[in-house]
Amino acid sequence: MTNGLRSFAAMALVIALAAVATSAPVALSQNGNRETFTLTSIDKKEKTAEVDSNGDGDSEDLGDRDAGGGPLFTGKNGKRAGTQRHDCVVTKASQNDVVLTCQGSFTIKGRGTIEASGWIKFTRQGGVRSRLAIVGGTRDFSGATGHIAFGGTNKTTTFEFHVTH
């Protein structure tokens, strides 16, 4: 997988597995039942496992899978604010980009978990910019909706949470 794909998949996105809460407040802005906050994943801190469905050594073919997760931070060098877990499957692969369908679970320290689902498009050059639908959550995020916008490089991924609950 390209570093961008590995970074996102490790991060990203996104993606229905259990997560473990950690310690640090999350900066947020609230407006009624809506809130927005941003967290960052650092690629080198991610752990992922890849499945090469056809055994050709290229993990960016249709049906290939990437699952993993890692810590989330309040900024590139910020405090640890939670974790993310994801499970993604390649659903489109072309010469220029790779599209994955992903499910993700984001545990926010002291607040609960946000569940998300959607597709992620990576360019072969390593860039990613996408949006996942928030499909629920636990504790503070029970019944949550909204979206997670994210983008990244092959070093970090930034998740901007837009939550209604």
Q: Provide the domain count of the chain.
A: 1
Residue 47 domain-assigned (yes or no): yes
The predicted structure's pLDDT at residue 32? 56
Which residues make beta-bridge pairs with 145?
164
* Pairwise CA distance, residues 80 & 82, whole Å: 6
Q: What is the pLDDT of residues 131-161, one digit of tens each?
A: 999 999 999 999 999 999 988 777 888 999 9
Residue 126 domain-assigned (yes or no): yes
Q: What is the pLDDT of residues 6-65, one digit of tens each?
A: 443 433 333 222 222 223 334 445 555 899 999 999 888 889 888 888 888 877 889 999
Model's pTM, two decimal places? 0.77
Q: Which residue has the tokens 């993606």?
A: 15
Residue 155 domain-assigned (yes or no): yes
Residue 102 domain-assigned (yes or no): no
CA distances from 30 to 68, 91, 154 (A): 30, 36, 31
The predicted structure's pLDDT at residue 122? 82
**85-104: average pLDDT:** 92
Residue 103 domain-assigned (yes or no): no
Question: Please, what's the largest Cα pairwise distance for the chain?
Answer: 51
Q: Which residues contact 17 (CB under 8 A, 6 or more apart)?
A: 67, 69, 85, 86, 87, 105
Query: pLDDT higher for 4 or 71?
Result: 71
Residue 9, domain CATH: 2.40.480.10
Q: What is the DSSP string of 103-127?
A: EEEEEETTTEEEEEEEEEEEETTS-
The predicted structure's pLDDT at residue 4? 40
Domain interval for residue 42: 3-55+63-97+108-164
Residue 7 domain-assigned (yes or no): yes
Residue 67 domain-assigned (yes or no): yes
